[in-house]
C-alpha cells in the first residue's frame, strides 16, 4: 500500500511537472511572439518618426521660403504708387486733358491755312 501511495504520488508529481513544463513552454512561446511584435512595432515607430521628421523639415523649409517670398513682396510693394499719388496724377491728367492736344502736323497745317488765308485776303 505504501508502495502504491508512493507511486501515485510520484505519478502526480510527474503529471504536475509535465503540466508546469507545458505552461513554461507556452509562456516561452508567448514571450517570443511578444518580443517579435515589440521589435516590429519599434521598427515601425522608428520609420514613422523618421518620416515625420522629414516632413517637419520640408514644412520648415516651405515656411522659410514663404517668409522670404512675403518679405520680397513687401519690399516690392514699397515701390508701388500710393493711392493718393494716383489721385493726384488723375487730377492733373483730367485738368490737362491730353486727348485734346494737337500734333506737330496739325499745328503746321493750321499755320499753313492761316498763311493761305492772309495771303488770299491781301489779293
Question: Which of 64 and 121 is assigned the larger pLDDT?
Answer: 64
With H, G, I as helix, E, B as strand and everything else as coil, classify residue 123: coil
Rounded to whole angstroms, the Cα distance separating 71 from 81 reads 18
For 21, how many CA atoms within 13 A lie in the half-sphere containing its CB? 6
Domain parsing of the chain, residue ranges: 1-80, 81-123
Average the pLDDT over 29-55 and give the result. 98
CB contact set of 110 (below 8 Å; sequence gap of 6+): 102
Rounded to whole angstroms, the Cα distance separating 39 from 31 reads 12
pTM: 0.51
- Residue 15: its H or E element: helix 2-78
* Grid cell digits, residue 48: 514613422
pLDDT band, very low/low/confident/very high, at 10 (cuts 50, 70, 90): very high
Question: Over pLDDT 90: what percentage of the chain?
Answer: 59
For 14, how many CA atoms within 13 A lie in the half-sphere containing its CB? 6
pLDDT in tens, 49-76: 999 999 999 999 999 999 999 999 999 9
Amino acid at each position: 500500500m505504501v508502495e502504491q501511495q508512493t507511486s501515485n504520488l510520484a505519478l502526480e508529481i510527474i503529471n504536475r511537472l509535465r503540466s508546469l513544463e507545458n505552461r513554461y513552454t507556452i509562456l516561452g512561446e508567448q514571450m517570443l511572439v511578444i518580443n517579435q511584435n515589440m521589435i516590429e512595432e519599434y521598427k515601425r515607430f522608428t520609420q514613422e518618426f523618421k518620416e515625420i521628421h522629414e516632413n517637419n523639415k520640408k514644412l520648415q523649409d516651405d515656411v522659410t521660403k514663404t517668409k522670404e517670398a512675403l518679405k520680397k513682396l513687401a519690399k516690392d510693394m514699397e515701390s508701388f504708387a500710393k493711392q493718393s499719388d494716383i489721385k493726384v496724377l488723375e487730377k492733373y491728367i483730367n485738368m490737362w486733358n491730353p486727348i485734346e492736344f494737337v500734333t506737330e502736323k496739325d499745328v503746321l497745317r493750321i499755320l499753313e491755312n492761316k498763311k493761305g488765308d492772309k495771303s488770299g485776303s491781301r489779293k
